[in-house]
Structure 1
Amino acid sequence: MSALNFATRGALAAVNHLLARADWARERLAPHAGRCARLRAEPVELLFAIDSDGYLIDSDADQEPGVTLSLPLSALPGLVGGDANKAMNAVRIEGNAELADTLGFVFRNLRWDAEEDLSRVFGDIVAHRMVQGAGSLRQMHERAWAGLTGNLAEYLAEEQQALVTHGALAALGDELRALRDDLARLDKRVGRLAAPGRHA
């Protein structure tokens, strides 16, 4: 089995794990049984079909996909485990609109209940604390990143003056508008002075 085929089977198994707990998603997918789709996040490409129970199965490479969903590789983890709405906003769709709409809806709303899966291995209390800890760690990471980007922007704008602040840009706009108005008034005066019949 090639590494690519192994990765495809792993990705399908992960999505099918989520689908197993989401009857609503399988019910939406089942009417599209037999249809093939391609998920492309260069250099990763996942070709799959939908079975009669609404699960995703490996598709033959020679089968023509009814729809192709293309997105940046960085958005791929967000489809299943993160911010699916943000990931789906980056998707470019080619092909059957009905199938694309169904897949988009399922991927946008399919959620992983990490606490449920962890509780089977570690128990309810430990799983709950692990998920809380991971959430706190993610929030800490987001705050640190926001602080870093804010500090960098402030440094570049204030200390290095490599960026223009909103206030400075607004002030420059006001000055340019005033200069334009002054120039228009001066042009009118020159026009009146240069008018025929007018002597200096």
Structure 2
Amino acid sequence: MPLDAMVTAVIETSLNQLLALDQQSPERLRKLTGKVLKLELRELKPLWFVFSDRRLDVLAQHEGQADAVLSLSLTALGLLKDPSALTRYIREEKLDLSGDPQVVQAFSSLLGELAIDWEEQLSHYTGDVVAHSLFRGARQARQLLGRELCRSQRQLAEYLTEEARLAPGPLEVASFNDDVEALAQQLKAVELRLARIEQQVT
């Protein structure tokens, strides 16, 4: 089908271009040489990943058997970034795996451990000075955004606890815990007195 071929070609080209930008990817790709992974995305048609020592091919159909079959939703694709957590995700039923789990772990490492120097890549088109300035500005903007987000969270917490009174403040929580502890001690004292009275009666 022309549409399937176009989709797989776009995915294949994009992934191979990303791998080409990472100097360590050939070593990780070598671990998958000769392997076939079937990826079943619940919202789309299955994709087959066929690995060689230099590249990966993405197919809409494949006649041979897959070494591993991975089933998950599109929203769960981000989970593949952490190969060490795959067993936990399977246990939590966030994804299904059949076949050789090492193939899926190697595939996860191949994509999740990409280390691309985007500043260097951009410098090929803009020059070193412009690329460095752009990335420095982006880092500063991200830091500023992070600080503003933290400040907003603090202000919201203060509003909820002090003005709107929708949540207790830390002093109120501590006071409540002290009251509960005192009540527990009083109950123990009452239980002891009742036990002594019961012994005297009997």
Q: 1:160 to 1:97 in 2, by over 3 A?
A: same
Cα deviation for residue 155 of structure 1 reads 1.2
Matches within 5 A, 1:24-173: 24-32=24-32, 33-38=34-39, 40=41, 43=43, 47-61=47-61, 66-68=68-70, 70=72, 73=75, 76=78, 92-93=94-95, 94-95=97-98, 96-173=100-177
Cα deviation for residue 69 of structure 1 reads 6.5
Structure 2 counterpart SS, 1:22: coil
Taking the aligned partners of 2:133 and 2:109, their CA distance within structure 1 comes to: 31
Letter in 2 for 1:38: L
Tell me the alpha carbon deviations over residues 153-198 of structure 1, each in whole angstroms, 9 at most, x when there is no partner: 2211221121233443333223212211111111211221233447
Tell me the alpha carbon deviations over residues 30-78 of structure 1, each in whole angstroms, 9 at most, x when there is no partner: 33234124275x75777341421353321224677614274773874x9
Taking the aligned partners of 1:74 and 1:137, their CA distance within structure 2 comes to: 29
What residue is the counterpart of 2:198 in the other structure? 194
Are 1:18 and 2:22 counterparts?
Answer: no
Q: Which stretch of the first structure deviates more once superposed, 109-118 or 48-57?
A: 48-57
Specify which structure has the bigger relative contact order, considering alpha-carbon pairs within 8 angstroms and separated by 6 or more residues: 2
When the two structures are aligned, how many residues end up with a matched partner? 189
Instruction: Structure 2: state its 5+ residue gaps.
Output: none
Say what the alpha-carbon RMSD is for the aligned residues. 3.4
Structure 1 counterpart SS, 2:24: helix
Taking the aligned partners of 1:6 and 1:67, their CA distance within structure 2 comes to: 23
Letter in 1 for 2:183: L
Taking the aligned partners of 2:178 and 2:12, their CA distance within structure 1 comes to: 57
- TM-score, normalised on structure 1? 0.73
Letter in 2 for 1:159: E
Q: Which stretch of the first structure deviates more once superposed, 170-179 or 124-133?
A: 170-179
Letter in 1 for 2:27: E
Structure 1 counterpart SS, 2:31: helix
Q: 1:61 to 1:72 in 2, by over 3 A?
A: same
CA contact (8 A) 2:39 2:48 kept: yes
Q: 1:157 to 1:25 in 2, by over 3 A?
A: same
CA contact (8 A) 1:18 1:111 kept: no
Matches within 5 A, 1:172-191: 172-191=176-195
